Structure 1
Amino acid sequence: MSALSNTNWNRRNVLQAAMGLAAAGGLAACGGNTGRSSGGSGEALTQYFHAYGEAGTEQAIKKYAAAYKKANVSTNWITGDNFESALFAALLTKKAPDVFEFHPQLQLVKSGQVADLTDLIDPVKDDFNPNDIKSHTVDGKIYGIRMIDDPQFFYYRKSMFEKAKVEVPTTLEELIEAAAKLTTSKVKGAFLGNDFTAIQNVIIWSAGADTINEKNEIAYHTDGVVEGLKQLRQLFTSGDVLLDAPTDFWDPSSLNQGLCAMQWGGMWSMPAMQQALGDDLGIFPFPKIGSAGKQSVYNGGWSIFVNAKGKNVEAAKEYVKWLWIDQKQYQEDWATSYGFHIPPRTSIANSATKLKTGLPAEGVKLFTDYGHFDNIAYDQTMQTAFAEVIASSIRKNGNPESALDTCDKKVNVELKKLFG
């Protein structure tokens, strides 16, 4: 995930989409906001982007497209919480986009939906974060180019911590204790997103587990994860957590407006938070869970893909190479001029002055020290199954072991589909 639109977007929207639930949705949601390039000639190409929350992003992506002279590139900038449904519905039609942003997903490769981009990336492969190459690689071929890396961590108000005499928590127990001490009649101690699904991957990693292992077997069903789910149920029912916030975790408003003392969020929110709070802002990774645990940071992000079933595959690849391989100034602009994101290209990350000092530099360090990347095989169906564990055992009072057993069955069916 990345800088998201100021809508009721959540992880489950993305999850449902790739399962094809939106296949019947048609293209009405896309609207007529095509942002057609004025400078191009030759092929007509269409690209799909979700509406980022930061001001200026729509204008930027259309400016880049307009600068490309070999094709006429139009942009569908899809607002609301329907990006995934609009994208996946469109991919089934004759009006499918030639280029689209999404996350690396093995089923998109297995179904032949996304084009092999190895030939574009190979000449500069060593300039990419190796994790961004690995998360897009299947059988030695690279599908998709990472545009931005988006670490997620806790933000907190330093003044509120000092007033409540609270230290930065490093364990989940300490986080629960801190939330209680920080809660007042007007402020909740913590905000972890309205339904807690924003933290579903870091729960696993912070408990010392993983989503699936290198043998493509379930790795999340451990005693540590069960312990974490029980502790998070305790936190959820404590009265010390902000629930039903006006906007979700991806939006900085809850912390900025003083509704909570600490908030789970993405690095994309940092400029807006710094503008609102100045130096009264700190960050820390998700705390460790249990004796086998380790602090963790979720490295989300967005990648660009070429529709392998489109009419203009070669022209689309040429455009993607031009923008996301050759145009380094646009890549740095996209990563640092609106929200803060980490450029996947090492050379650009090393020259990105806005990320060199202060809190942005701390965010980069958390990304480097504690970061976990998506596994391309841990697909939407599996993520949805684990989101149901969160619903059952944190938001309701279900048994975590039973919820994980149910999840295991669904995940194993999916693993068998993908790997036989």
Structure 2
Amino acid sequence: MTDRIRLSRRSLLALTTAAATGAVLAGCGDEGGQSGSGKKIRWWHIANTDPMMSAWAQMARQFEASHPGVTFEITPLENEAFKTKLTTVVQAGDPPDIFHTWGGGVLAQQAEAGMVKDLTADVGAWRDTLIPTALDAYTVSGKVYGSAVDTGMVGFWYNKELFERAGVKAPPATWAEYLEAVRRLKAAQITPIALAGKEKWPGHYYWAYLAMRVAGLDALRQAGADKNFDAPDFVTAGAHLADLVALQPFQTGYLAAGYSTADGQAATMGNGKAAMELMGQWAPVVERDNSAGKKGLGDKLGFFAFPAVDGGKGKITDAFGGGGGFAVGKDAPPEAVEFLKFIAQPENARIEAKTAGVLPVVKAAGDAVTDPNLKLVGDTLSASTGFQLYLDQAYAPAVGQQVNDSVAELLAGKSSPQQVAQAITAAAKQG
């Protein structure tokens, strides 16, 4: 949904309706990481709406109470505003003391530039309390540069009632079946898919998943290392997406639609005006919050994994997604790292799971997941055979942006599958 985060690109926190993006203070203090007998911790996160914005602030106050002299300056930012502002301060050599990260290529660049602390030894104190893959996205060359908070995956959310009306009796398991489901929905005069074309990151999910299904996870990772996405399998992935675009499956005006705007992707889905959206685990909550009366689809909503592609090298059990975590700026006081340990305590992880509707990475907090939709995603993720981080986070920023831009052009009918692969390769080689 952007780097996805994408929401995320892509936790729920990144993708809720935008609110004020100014600084909100959870404590007071002078400028600088240390002043007099006190220490100020500048904390930037993307929970820019309640209830989680207030929940994070409350945790900061609790930490302040047990650490005399420590105060927090908290800046909640909308996802895109966060990325823009963070890039500016990192380039200036002044990163926040604690800031949101999706890991991957962006965090790797920050680590290489010496802008973030190596947390390997520190996180080791609570690593065993996390699920096994929790820190994978935050590990660069064997060193850990971030502590995970939540995780999740992207899949198709669908309206069971609309599927039934169109005669689609079961979620499609193959890409051919998926295209046939789209045809049936259109024949029943039902908009098959809601898409936020304006924001680009939701569209990249389609190309990424098709690349995974056609070429396989290893090929995607090797392409990143070799800086070459021009292989036939990646062109084929684009061709499969072009086949979908040719069916005109998206809602009217999708190219100008946002994700969580009044008439955007989430609202279109939540109001029952489209049968499907390809989105992360946060989708049911955002659909609900952007629907009329904030009711959402309730028990009409279902979930299924991205279909397999006949003859492809990838497995339908390979998952695509990511989560959210926090990195620590190079000049942060030791208490910043202590705070990461504090929010990783099961009781605090449960607060985030219950309040934000996310899948926690703290094993003991799994009992806080009671929402049936979230549990379904968790069950699917736990049975996965492989995992790929959002491409606009997994690769260097310029490459991730090019993926988003090129796929958006394909979705708009302005670029070919071959041109998409060539443009991504060119961006990788320039980097």
| Equivalence for 1:257 | 271
Check 1:377–1:277 CA distance in 2 against 1; reply closer, same or farther (3 A cut). closer
Q: Does 1:159 align with 2:161?
A: yes
C-alpha distance in structure 2 between counterparts of 1:204 and 1:130, whole Å = 25
C-alpha distance in structure 2 between counterparts of 1:202 and 1:396, whole Å = 19
| Equivalence for 2:73 | 74
How does 1:12-411 map onto structure 2 within 5 Å? 31-36=22-27, 42-52=38-48, 55-69=50-64, 70=67, 71-79=70-78, 81-93=80-92, 96-104=95-103, 105-166=107-168, 167-183=170-186, 187-194=190-197, 195=200, 196-210=203-217, 211-213=220-222, 216-218=225-227, 220-242=229-251, 243-244=254-255, 246-248=257-259, 252-271=266-285, 275-292=295-312, 293-295=314-316, 296-308=318-330, 310=331, 312-324=332-344, 327-338=345-356, 340-349=357-366, 351-354=367-370, 358-370=372-384, 372-374=387-389, 378-411=395-428
C-alpha distance in structure 2 between counterparts of 1:348 and 1:214, whole Å = 36
Q: Deviations over 1:338-359 (max 9, x none)?
A: 3x2211122322x33515xx43
C-alpha distance in structure 2 between counterparts of 1:220 and 1:285, whole Å = 24
Check 1:220–1:109 CA distance in 2 against 1; reply closer, same or farther (3 A cut). same
Check 1:345–1:214 CA distance in 2 against 1; reply closer, same or farther (3 A cut). farther
C-alpha distance in structure 1 between counterparts of 2:180 and 2:193, whole Å = 11
C-alpha distance in structure 2 between counterparts of 1:58 and 1:122, whole Å = 28
| Equivalence for 2:6 | none
Aligned partners of 1:152 and 1:265 also within 8 Å = yes
C-alpha distance in structure 2 between counterparts of 1:329 and 1:31, whole Å = 29
C-alpha distance in structure 2 between counterparts of 1:394 and 1:251, whole Å = 15
Aligned partners of 1:6 and 1:251 also within 8 Å = no
C-alpha distance in structure 2 between counterparts of 1:251 and 1:99, whole Å = 31
C-alpha distance in structure 2 between counterparts of 1:136 and 1:246, whole Å = 32
The offset of 1:409, in angstroms, is: 2.9
SS at match of 1:230: helix
C-alpha distance in structure 2 between counterparts of 1:144 and 1:80, whole Å = 18
Check 1:259–1:215 CA distance in 2 against 1; reply closer, same or farther (3 A cut). closer
The offset of 1:294, in angstroms, is: 2.7
C-alpha distance in structure 2 between counterparts of 1:190 and 1:30, whole Å = 31
Check 1:60–1:215 CA distance in 2 against 1; reply closer, same or farther (3 A cut). closer
Q: Could you tell me the TM-score, scaled by structure 2's length?
A: 0.79
Check 1:300–1:80 CA distance in 2 against 1; reply closer, same or farther (3 A cut). closer
Paired residue type of 1:207: V
Check 1:37–1:201 CA distance in 2 against 1; reply closer, same or farther (3 A cut). farther
Check 1:101–1:412 CA distance in 2 against 1; reply closer, same or farther (3 A cut). same
C-alpha distance in structure 2 between counterparts of 1:222 and 1:321, whole Å = 43
C-alpha distance in structure 2 between counterparts of 1:264 and 1:79, whole Å = 21
SS at match of 2:415: coil
Paired residue type of 1:176: L
Check 1:52–1:234 CA distance in 2 against 1; reply closer, same or farther (3 A cut). farther
Aligned residues: 384
Unaligned runs of 5+ in 1: 10-28, 415-420
C-alpha distance in structure 2 between counterparts of 1:6 and 1:346, whole Å = 25
C-alpha distance in structure 2 between counterparts of 1:300 and 1:120, whole Å = 22
C-alpha distance in structure 1 between counterparts of 2:286 and 2:423, whole Å = 40
Unaligned runs of 5+ in 2: 1-9, 30-36, 289-294
Check 1:127–1:412 CA distance in 2 against 1; reply closer, same or farther (3 A cut). farther
Paired residue type of 2:101: F
C-alpha distance in structure 1 between counterparts of 2:158 and 2:88, whole Å = 39
Aligned partners of 1:7 and 1:81 also within 8 Å = no
SS at match of 1:276: coil
C-alpha distance in structure 1 between counterparts of 2:233 and 2:126, whole Å = 40
Aligned partners of 1:50 and 1:83 also within 8 Å = yes
C-alpha distance in structure 2 between counterparts of 1:399 and 1:200, whole Å = 12
The offset of 1:90, in angstroms, is: 2.6
Q: Deviations over 1:107-147 (max 9, x none)?
A: 11111111111122113323323322222222332110011
Mean Cα deviation higher: 385-394 or 299-308: 385-394
C-alpha distance in structure 2 between counterparts of 1:215 and 1:86, whole Å = 26
Q: Deviations over 1:304-362 (max 9, x none)?
A: 01001x2x3323222222223xx321112112323x2211122322x33515xx43322
Aligned partners of 1:34 and 1:77 also within 8 Å = no
Paired residue type of 1:354: T
C-alpha distance in structure 1 between counterparts of 2:56 and 2:78, whole Å = 15
Paired residue type of 2:114: G
The offset of 1:6, in angstroms, is: 4.5
Check 1:283–1:410 CA distance in 2 against 1; reply closer, same or farther (3 A cut). same
SS at match of 2:279: strand
SS at match of 2:125: helix
Check 1:225–1:85 CA distance in 2 against 1; reply closer, same or farther (3 A cut). same
